[in-house]
Amino acid sequence: MFSIHTKTRPRFLFLSRELTYALGALVLRAKYYAKLYIKDIIYGANDGIISTFAVVASIEGAQLSSFAILIVGFASLCADGASMATSSYLAYKSDKEVRSLDNYDESDAKPFLEALVTFFSFITAGSVPLIPYILLGHENPKIYMISALSAITTLFLIGGLRTRITQKNFIVAGLEMGLLGSLAGAIAYTVGLFVASLR
């Protein structure tokens, strides 16, 4: 029994070491790509959640149905996400072409991947204000408040994530983005109220 243990142990240690190296390499690669595309992640997520939250707030202000919020919200989410992804692709592609002409292309990022990251970040974060309307039912009286709090909390986290680039304070950056999102929502809600008053 002792001899079996001594023979299998080196093999076990070898496999453990290989697995550790593989996981370490995977983590480093994930960090590399996260850093490479973090601008697109933040850009897409920030725009997605603010624009969708503004749509939700304006429809709530106009006192339309929750069903209208879901229809318009998801339609706006998909259309704006596709528009942002297209704009991102064309902008980065043009930038890389200009830099390559000047022999100054130092970026490893790919325009198509940047567009894809922007699109999925936009769709993922932009879905946050709509999720309460799906999960909690259309007639819940607190649904808008829950949606607003979800959106503002997510904006706070996105703002904090931005400090990975800016190296600023997480709390300050989070509060800044949360307040800007709240302002956008308040303006949209007021516009909705005004439009409703014209009927």
Does the residue 3 lie in any domain? no
Mean pLDDT of the chain: 81
The yes-or-no verdict on residue 10 having pLDDT over 60 is no
User: Does residue 17 lie within any of the structural domains?
Assistant: no
Distance between CA atoms of residues 40 and 51, nearest Å: 16
* Distance from the Cα of residue 14 to its chain's centroid: 40
86 contacts 115 by C-beta, under 8 angstroms: yes
Q: What is the pLDDT of residues 134-163, one digit of tens each?
A: 888 767 778 899 999 999 999 999 888 878
Question: Is residue 27 in a domain?
Answer: no
91 in any annotated domain: yes
Number of domains in the chain: 1
For residue 108, being part of any structural domain is answered with: yes
The pTM of the full predicted model, rounded to 2 decimals, is 0.75
Q: How confident is the model at residue 188 (pLDDT cuts 50, 70, 90)?
A: very high
Domain that holds residue 87: 40-197
Q: With respect to residue 78, please indicate whether it lies within any of the assigned structural domains.
A: yes
Number of C-beta neighbours around residue 136 at 10 A: 14
Does the pLDDT value for residue 195 go beyond 60?
Answer: yes
Q: What is the pLDDT of residue 164?
A: 72
Q: Is 127 exposed, middle or buried (0-12, 13-18, 19+ CB in 10 A)?
A: middle
Q: Is residue 48 part of a domain?
A: yes
**Cα 102 from chain centre:** 33
Assigned domain for 160 exists: yes
Give the mean pLDDT of 156-179: 85
pLDDT in tens, 48-103: 999 999 999 999 888 888 888 889 999 999 998 888 888 888 887 777 777 776 66
Average pLDDT over residues 181-199: 88
